[in-house]
Chain A
Amino acid sequence: MGRYLLRRAGASLVVLFLAAVVVFAGVRALPGDPALALAGEERDPESLAAIRAKYGLDEPILVQFWNWLTLALQGDFGESIRTGIDVTDILLSKLPITIELSVLSVLVAVVLGIPAGVLAAVKKDTWIDHTSSGIALFGLSIPNFWLGLMLILGLAIYFPIFPASGYVSPLEDPIGNLMRMVLPAFVLGTAFTAVVMRQMRSAMVESLTADYIRTARSKGLGEFTVVASHAMRNSLITVTTVVGLQLGALISGAVVTEQIFVIPGFGKLIVDAVFQRDFPVIQGAIIVTTAGYILVNFVVDIVYSLLNPRIRITGAAT
């Protein structure tokens, strides 16, 4: 286990370094000069030169990379070209928001998707199965942008139950926070619910025809126990993989939802930063997202072994 963890940690560092190189080169390959983007309507040559000098944009790219990397390793991602605010402070303020939104949307997906998947598998080829699959397909197909606006119209304007947008910290106002998170979490979780439901159904269908289930039934166990304790537990391994991958993707993929509900999270941060060519913010945000993705996958691997003791993490495991 220890060797495995060390290997994974080493591999993660390599991935992070490669990500840093790709991101750094990638943002500079974008058309659009950050000095011009920042200069706004005051684009006189002196201003542009001063901006480039201030942010080191006039240095050779390798020098820029080295300067950035050495500071980033110390947790200093520089300051936003646009606002002058410390990037680390920005990331630290955005991360909890997107994590909260992602976790809540996963919760929505798990709470809705797993029971629906189990039910569809148990009632395979009945109208319940078909209806669940239909709803899942609908959930997968529906654009977040459209669903978000519809929910705002219905539940914030027409029946004003939830606020249309914004974010307050749960530490300041727990109820207000929850009220503002319900609609975005639902929107973000909708497509994911469909994925979870379909995965759960497939895994359950396979499990329910396995030998050990037949054995369990022949031992006289009740159907509920067979489904819940045996079939479901094994099927959850597949779903856990999906949840893990999806959680990582959600951190960076909440872009549209955050735009619609004006949630100042990571997705919105990255999109705005790209449009404004705010290099330090883009770099910092993507590195942190990459790190989050790696971490989540690492945790998923560990959860595997807890769900199924037959899977042992060893030095040879992958």
Chain B
Amino acid sequence: MTKHRLSLATLAVAALLGAACSPVGQDGGGGTEDPRTGQARKGGDLVVALSEEPDRLDPSLARTFVGRIVFSSICEKLYDVDENLEVVPQLAADLPDVSDDGLTVRIPVREGITFNDGTNFDAEAVKRSLDRHREISGSARASEIAPIEEVRVVDDTTVEIGLSEPFAPLTAALADRAGMIMSPAQLDKLGENFADEPVCVGPFSFAERKAQDRIVVTKSEHYYDAGKVNLDRVVYRTIAEPNVRLSNLRSGDIHVAEDVAPTDVATIQNDANFQVVETTSIGYQGITVNIGNGDGVGPPFTKPGTPLASEEKLREAFELSLDRDALNKIVFDGRHTPGCTPLSPASPWAVEGFECTPHDVEAAKRLVRESGIPTPIPVELITANNAEEVRVGEVIQSMAKEAGFAVTVRPTEFAAALDEAEAGNFDTFRIGWSGRIDADQNVHQFQHSSGSLNWAGTNDADIDRLLDEARAAQSTEERKELYRQAVERASEVRGIIYLYHENLFLGAAQEIVGLEYFGDGLIRVTNAGFAAEQG
């Protein structure tokens, strides 16, 4: 049987089962070339398949992860990250200069560059965008940069930001959508409808959008580094179904497939025409345990009356019953990275040397016995209603059963599950976070008692204090130490039991070179292109 036929048969079986195929994970002829190397020829249209429809392409209002992928080609930011996820200047000329009291941040901006409508980029434009991010009705950015009180233009190439309190995560926030600078001329023209035809500084310009079908961007003639841009166009198509994304990659209808399932990785690697680009996410996946969200997110924190909420030792027993490595192997072909903190090993903020609670069924049983609560102890686990998540739930169910927990898996449509989480109508919820650059953005809103995503209902004075101090501290080393302590305390409270960090996989045609894929999961296409020898 030829390799092609093997793949065909594999996919056929997958289709029959209505699920992703899961061949033995061995590397084949493809998938070995580093996509960041190789000479690209000029020209060509790259078709990228996204796993869901981006929302509105307005940096102040946008909320979806896939939207960030599209923005990465059309809207540059004051700061970006490099492959080590360290913040580096993009539209800013240098890293910010922070005053001793931490209340004033001075940012030099680049000179001599233009927006994609040909208008001039300057400090005034930066102020206009930052003010819009903070003030526009329905802003998704306002909370990210809430401590900003005022943005002042010092001169054409310098802005000064006044803060209400020291706010160390600001630079990282400006390395995401809050740092995207929009063309003032286009804002004048379109106002709230900026998303209809967004114009920023970027290697590509927005060209057209067909709802639920495609977003097309074309090479910008105004881009300051246009010489490095190889592609003529990038077409972002929305293909929600993973099997369909994979078949479209194989048929050549698309060149890059976002969000390839771990169980599909071997299929792509076994075909010499394709490559897999992999990175470890800066996000996390875990189980949120309802310990104080009996009555909806936020104060007052009321215990929901479940055994897990009332007994800290039972939560420890529950975690002791979980085998993170086995879960990873059973559900994900061992392709993710087991972990037990909110800070991914891919992040510069990772807590080094942190010891996870080991898998120890006997210890778990002992704690259950000591609790005096009769077994089996009922636990309801909400998961998303897709095959992969249900499998995760079932594996957790079987592991916890050994220690005396009777886990009921409740697959729930995602929007409905969010409702339940907000209202506090759950025991445990299998959910994760896609991750942000700064540690604060991965911990504070989930673990701090005032956090808007504190679905667990965590209300711990130590955690609150440590996270507040970490926000205010200016030294990176000091902040790292505070996060280490906060993570240690959070691991005792167990409002969230962290399980693993996803490894993200892109499927790409072998002829594609220059793709940049870091732990933030964005697909950077500025330097991407078709390999010269194909040309």
User: Which A residues contact B (CB, under 8 angstroms)?
Assistant: 30-34, 36-47, 50-51, 53-54, 80, 82-85, 89-90, 93-94, 145-146, 149-150, 152-153, 156-158, 160, 163-167, 259-260, 262, 264, 268-269, 272, 275-277
Contacts and interface: CB of A to CB of B under 8 A. Distances in A.
Given A164-B247, A262-B248, A153 B419 contact: no
Nearest to A180: B253
A80 B211 contact: yes
A165 B248 CA distance: 7
B415 A41 contact: no
Contacts of A152: 244, 247, 251
A89 to B, nearest CB: 8
Given A45-B452, A50-B138, A157 B53 contact: no
Interface string B8-20: 1001100110100
A278 B15 CA distance: 30
B244 A41 contact: no
A33 B422 contact: yes
Given A149-B243, A163-B253, A275-B414, A82 B12 contact: no
Contact of B63 (A40, A160, A166): A40
Contact of B413 (A32, A84, A149, A153): A32
9 contacts: A84-B196, A90-B211, A145-B18, A146-B16, A156-B253, A165-B248, A260-B241, A262-B237, A262-B239
A30, A46, A82, A277 pick with most chain B CB within 10 angstroms: A82
Given A43-B418, A84-B55, A153-B11, 15 more contacts: A31-B420, A38-B63, A44-B452, A83-B56, A83-B211, A84-B56, A146-B16, A149-B243, A149-B244, A152-B244, A157-B247, A158-B4, A264-B210, A264-B212, A276-B415
Given A153-B247, A165-B244, A85 B211 contact: yes
A170 B241 CA distance: 26
Please name the 6 residue pairs, one residue from A and one from B, whose CB atoms are nearest each other, closest first. Answer: A32-B415, A40-B63, A264-B213, A164-B251, A31-B416, A149-B15
A32 B418 contact: yes
A291 to B, nearest CB: 20
A272 B137 contact: no
Interface residues of B, number: 58
Interface in B409-440: 413-416, 418-420, 422, 433-434
A251 B485 CA distance: 58
Given A32-B415, A46-B142, A149-B243, A269 B253 contact: no
B15 A47 contact: no
Contact of A41 (B53, B54, B63): B63
Contacts of B244: 149, 152, 165, 259-260, 262
B395 interface: no
Contacts of A31: 413, 415-416, 419-420
B4 A36 contact: no
* A contact patch SS: helix
Contacts of A268: 212
B240 A158 contact: no
A163 B196 CA distance: 30
B98 interface: no
Interface of B: 4, 8, 11-12, 15-16, 18, 53-56, 58, 61, 63-65, 137-140, 142-144, 193, 195-196, 209-213, 237-241, 243-244, 247-248, 250-253, 298, 413-416, 418-420, 422, 433-434, 445, 452-453
A269 B522 CA distance: 26
B213 A164 contact: no
A82 B243 contact: no
Nearest to A90: B211
Contacts of A264: 210-213
A37 B298 CA distance: 19
B413 A37 contact: no
A38 B248 CA distance: 28
Contacts of B140: 39-40, 42, 47
B253 A164 contact: yes
Q: Which of B11, B15, B54 has the most CB of A within 10 A?
A: B15
Nearest to B212: A264
B282 to A, nearest CB: 13
Contacts of A37: 414-415, 418
Contact of B419 (A32, A85, A94): A32
A44 B143 contact: yes
A160 B250 CA distance: 10
Contacts of A45: 298, 452
Nearest to A49: B138
B418 A146 contact: no
A83 B213 CA distance: 12
Contacts of B15: 145-146, 149-150, 153
A41 B248 contact: no
A259 B422 CA distance: 31
Contacts of A34: 415
Contacts of B298: 45
Residue of B16, B56, B142, B213 most packed against chain A (CB within 10 A): B213
Contacts of B238: 262
B140 to A, nearest CB: 5
B415 A259 contact: no
A166 B212 CA distance: 11
B237 A166 contact: yes
B65 A40 contact: yes
Contacts of A276: 53, 415
Given A32-B416, A50-B139, A165-B244, A83 B55 contact: yes
Of listed B16, B139, B140, B416, residue having the most chain A CB within 10 A = B140
A156 B251 contact: yes
B114 to A, nearest CB: 26
Contacts of A54: 137-138
B177 to A, nearest CB: 9
Contacts of A145: 15, 18
A84 B420 CA distance: 26
B172 to A, nearest CB: 15
Contact of B422 (A36, A80, A153): A36
A301 to B, nearest CB: 34
Contact of B193 (A84, A94, A164, A260): A84
A90 B212 CA distance: 9
A154 B7 CA distance: 12
A83 B240 contact: no
A37 B54 CA distance: 13
A254 B388 CA distance: 26
Given A39-B140, A41-B433, A157-B251, A259 B419 contact: no
A36 B53 CA distance: 16
A37 B64 CA distance: 10
A43 B453 contact: yes
A277 B61 CA distance: 17
A85 to B, nearest CB: 5
Contacts of B452: 43-45
A187 B29 CA distance: 34
The interface centre, meaning the residue of B53, B65, B239, B433 with most chain A CB atoms within 10 A of its CB, is: B53
